[in-house]
Amino acid sequence: MRQILMSLVMVFSLASVSSQAAERDLENILYLDLKDGRVTIQMYPAFAPNTVERIKKLTREGFYDGLAFHRVLDGFMAQTGDPLSKQESKRQVWGSGGSSYPDLEDEFNIKRHWRGVASMANSGVPNSANSQFFIMFKDNTRLDGNYTVWGRVIAGMKHVDKIKRGDEYNNGAIVGEPDRIVKMVVAADVEPKPEAATEDVAEAAEN
């Protein structure tokens, strides 16, 4: 009997740990919907905790929905996150806007600027990142130590590759209508929460 009870405790503990781990993973995954499909981004809270919290906060406020990829350089990256890009009348200053929250302190880390990486844009001075970020088309490790890497695309990179390119002779500025973020959500907010395997525990008890 004691052995059975110990087995039940172990099964329940493992199920609970597995459930908690899965829930934590969903909390740190973004779904970025583009015109061509969904992009999944794994965030790095262990390497850029404050930046990840800012991205999640703004995402949950619907801040990124409808924003343009206002600067896109072929073979380099696609940049978005400027609220001014919702207004055509302000096209001349697209790339200069941010959220109403204070700028973030830099969280430079060991993550490299490889293809698919999501990193914060800044104005070229320390601690100036706010809401804008970019996704890398190709590796460019010269950016390491100058921009905060906070995540990486783990699915749907082919959709990122289809983002409309800008004018290479005008710093990637878009000519005509830009591609936009259709919607961005935290996975934990739209996926059912994983539950502990109570059925497995019950079955083990019966056996």
| Residue spans per domain, the chain | 28-194
**Could you tell me what percent of the chain has a pLDDT over 70?**
82
CA atoms within 13 A on the CB side of 53: 10
User: What CATH number matches the domain at 28-194, 2.40.100.10, 3.90.1150.10, 1.10.10.10, 3.40.50.970?
Assistant: 2.40.100.10
pTM of the model: 0.84
Average pLDDT (60-66) is 98
Owner of token pair 């950016």: 143
pLDDT at 24: 61
For residue range 79-90, list pLDDT tens digits in order. Answer: 999 999 999 999
DSSP β-bridge partners for residue 31? 40, 185
